Amino acid sequence: MNIKFVVVGKLKEKYFKQGIEEYAKRLSRFCKFSIVEVPDEKAPESMSQAEMDQVMAAEGERILSKIKDREYVYALAILGKERSSEEFAKELKDLTTYGHSDITFVIGGSLGLTPAVLQRANTQISFGRFTLPHQLMRLVLTEQVYRAFMINEGSPYHK
Q: Is the pLDDT of residue 71 over 80?
A: yes
Q: pLDDT tens for residues 14-58? A: 999 999 999 999 999 999 999 999 999 988 888 999 999 999 999
- Of 29, 27, 8, the C-alpha closest to 138 is 8
Euclidean distance between CA atoms 8 and 118, whole angstroms: 15
Q: Is the pLDDT of residue 158 over 80?
A: no
Tell me the average pLDDT across 82-109.
96
Question: Domains in the chain, ordered, with CATH?
Answer: 2-43+50-153 (3.40.1280.10)
pTM for the structure as a whole? 0.96
**108 annotated among ligand-binding-site residues:** yes
Euclidean distance between CA atoms 56 and 1, whole angstroms: 30
DSSP alpha helix (H) spans, the chain: 14-27, 49-64, 85-97, 115-120, 134-153
Alpha carbon separation from 58 to 40, 51, 81 (Å, rounded): 9, 11, 26
**139 annotated among ligand-binding-site residues:** no
